[in-house]
Every structure is written in structure tokens, then in C-alpha cells.
Amino acid sequence: MALKNSPILGLQSFLLLVVMFMLPSLLFTKPNGEPFSFLENLQGSHQGQKLEGVCKLKRYLEKFGYLQYNDHSTHANDEEFDDQLESAVKVYQLNYGLNETGTLDSRTMEMMLRPRCGVPDIINGTTRMRSGKMKRHQPGPLSFHIAPQFAFFKRRQKWPYTLTKASLTYRFRSSVEVIDLQTLRPVIAQAFAKWAFVIPFTFSEAQESQTHWNITIGFHKLDHGDRHAFDGPGGILAHAFAPTIGWFHYDADENWSPNPNTNQIDLESIAAHEIGHVLGLEHSAIPEAVMYGLFSAGEQKRELHSDDILGIRTLYGLDR
Ligand SMILES: *[C@@H]1O[C@H](CO)[C@@H](O)[C@H](O)[C@H]1NC(C)=O
Ligand SMILES: *[C@@H]1O[C@H](CO)[C@@H](O)[C@H](O)[C@H]1NC(C)=O
Ligand SMILES: *[C@@H]1O[C@H](CO)[C@@H](O)[C@H](O)[C@H]1NC(C)=O
Ligand SMILES: [Zn+2]
Ligand SMILES: [Zn+2]
């Protein structure tokens, strides 16, 4: 664990320095507007068209696991809405319960514009969402281009777990001060408690004197050194890494609150979601589930859904 945690400490002092020196330039290069607003130009677009913004749509669908161009592909970086992109849009539509038109119709746009978790919906071809139930190499319009395995939890990354020793510790480490610890502590403790109620884990904050811990929680902005840069206000809200990395990062540029008004994002709901990833769960297709990947300002979803509970208990072999 020492090896795992110490680079992050070094990284953060480094980040702090970088941020201090770059502050003047950051003020002018801060992204303006919603990161996903490029989609608004694309309403109604479909296969065969060439439109400004299509290339960004490709990057968007790549980021969330729907698209992967191979090295020889001619359309990877252009504005052409090709058939590979159309297939990716259809898989997105399937996962989010939309009509699989392959067109960026208004319902699809609405979904894609919503703020969301930065963790991809499909990881190495694996997903708990609807497309994960498809057969491999299924012919027809739903055939999928990213060499999918479509196994439920192919790698089953999880924390080593025995009934007598399932206790994990966490610590707060932020490169940007957003919410003070007195406010954050009970929020995080309540989110952990929801999971601890359904699996025999205990979660506790590491003592100041402890040099090793399992989960690191903090606020970071834009590029923060883990190769998954945040995107300023809106767009991606947070992300977390699968076991046993244990990093859970809030995007410091969002308007966070423990009691959100309609413009704010709920700290505890997002904590419940990201802790699910820290424990090894992927996104769910069920909008009411905590592990659903999209999230709106003002929304509160702090209670686990039966799908979340089934997912985590299955992962840890508790419902056999
Ligand atoms: C799907 O298409 C049908 C028929 O056009 C329409 O009635 C329905 O509302 C659509 N569903 C969604 C989720 O867009
Ligand atoms: C995806 O697969 C590659 C190669 O098989 C592996 O190195 C990588 O860790 C996997 N990523 C995840 C998130 O499982
Ligand atoms: C969790 O952290 C403790 C120290 O707090 C350490 O002894 C243990 O090995 C860690 N567990 C895992 C699975 O990394
Ligand atoms: Zn997520
Ligand atoms: Zn991060």
C-alpha cells in the first residue's frame, strides 16, 4: 500500500506547485460553457452526413466506451458520421432505453447532454447495461465494433474479502479546497454506511498517524495527473477507479452541496455512486439505481436500489 499511496502524495504537492505557477494562464484557458454543448449542433444528424462537431461526438463515445477506431481507420478524426459511429450511437441508445435509430434524435441528445460520471459505460467490452446482454458478433445493425467480450464482470476486480477481515480505510486528499472536512466527513460516512448495510464490510477514516489506507477521496480539477482529466463545470462530475486502486475524485469545478438546490450537485448521491465503483461495480441501465451513470443538478439519489444490492452481493459471492 505504501507504494500505491505515496506517489499520490508527491503528485499532489507537485500539482499544487503547477497550479500556482499556471494560475494566470488557467484563468484564460478555463473551458467556457458546458463541455457537452457541442452536441447541440448535431441534433438530427445521422449516418452519411459531414458536420462540424461529429469528431467531438466520436471522442465523447470513445470516452464512455462505445467506440474504438482502429489505427487504419480513415474516419477516426474527421467530421464524417460513418457507419461505425452509427453503430456506437445505437448501442448507446440501447443502453439508455431509447429507440435504436442511430440518429441523434432529440431524446438521445437530451440523454447525452446530461451531466454524468466519468467512468465509461462499457469497459473493455464489458458492461452491466443492456448491450452486455447481447450475443457476441450478433449480426445486423447492433453488431458492435470494439471486440466485445460481453461477459458479466469479466475480470471481477474486487477487494480481497473474508468474513473476518473485510474492513477498508479511507482518507481525504484534495488538490483543490472545495468543501471543508467538517461538512464532507458525515456525507461520506453516510454514503459508506449504505453499502456497509448490504455487504459485510466496515469502512472507517484512517487515523492521521496511519501511513497506509485503502481509499483516497478528494476534489481535483481539469488535468490532475491520473490520465482522466476533468472538464470544468458541467459534463463529467466525478470518477473512481476499480479495486484495488481506491481513488474517488470529485470534479472541483462543479457546484457541490450537501443539500443541493436545483443548480447544485448532491455530494452524498455522487459519493454513493463512486463508492460503488471503488467496490467494483459498473454502471447500471436502471435509471433509479445509484449506479446509473447520468445525474442531474438538484437530484438526490442516496438510497441503494435492489439492482445495486444484487450487483454488489453477486460480486462478493454473497447470494449464492
Ligand atoms: C420510440 O418510437 C416510438 C414510435 O415512433 C415512440 O412512440 C416512442 O415514444 C419512442 N420512444 C422513445 C424512448 O423515444
Ligand atoms: C482492459 O484490457 C487491457 C488488456 O487486456 C488491460 O491491460 C486493462 O487493464 C483493461 N482495463 C480495465 C479497466 O479492465
Ligand atoms: C487496506 O489498508 C490496510 C492499512 O490500513 C492494509 O493493511 C491492507 O492491506 C489494505 N488492504 C488492501 C486490500 O489493500
Ligand atoms: Zn459511474
Ligand atoms: Zn481523477
**Closest atom of ligand 2 to CA, residue 124:** 1
| Average pLDDT rounded to a whole number, residues 101-113 | 97
- Final residue before a domain boundary, out of 78, 113, 148: 113
Average pLDDT over residues 42-56: 96
| Ligand 1 binding site (Cβ under 6 Å of any ligand atom) | 98-99, 107
Catalytic residue status for 208: no
Structural domains counted in the chain: 2
- Evaluate if residue 192 carries a pLDDT over 50: yes
Global pTM reads 0.84
Task: Please give the pLDDT value at position 17.
Answer: 38
Domain carrying residue 81: 42-113
DSSP assignment of the chain equals -HHHHHHHHHHHHHHHHHHHHHHHHHHHH---S-TTGGGGGGTT--TT-B-TTHHHHHHHHHHTTS----TT-SSTTSSB--HHHHHHHHHHHHHTT----SS--HHHHHHHHS-EESS-SSBTTB-SSGGGGSPTT--STT--SS-----TTSS-------TT--EEEEEE--SS--S-HHHHHHHHHHHHHHHHTTSS-EEEEPPTT-S--SEEEEEE-SS-SSS----SSSSEEEEE-TTTT-EEEEETTS-EESS--TTSEEHHHHHHHHHHHHHT---BS-TTSTTBSB--TT----SPPHHHHHHHHHHTT---
Mean pLDDT of 59-78: 90
Of the residues 78, 93, 113, the one at which a domain ends: 113
- Which residue, judged by its Cα, is nearest atom 14 of ligand 3? 214
Residue nearest to atom 9 of ligand 1 (CA): 99
Atom of ligand 3 nearest to the CA of 210: 5
Residue 157 has pLDDT above 70, yes or no: yes
For residue 84, the domain's CATH number is 1.10.101.10
Q: Is residue 264 part of a domain?
A: yes
So what's the pLDDT on residue 24? 38
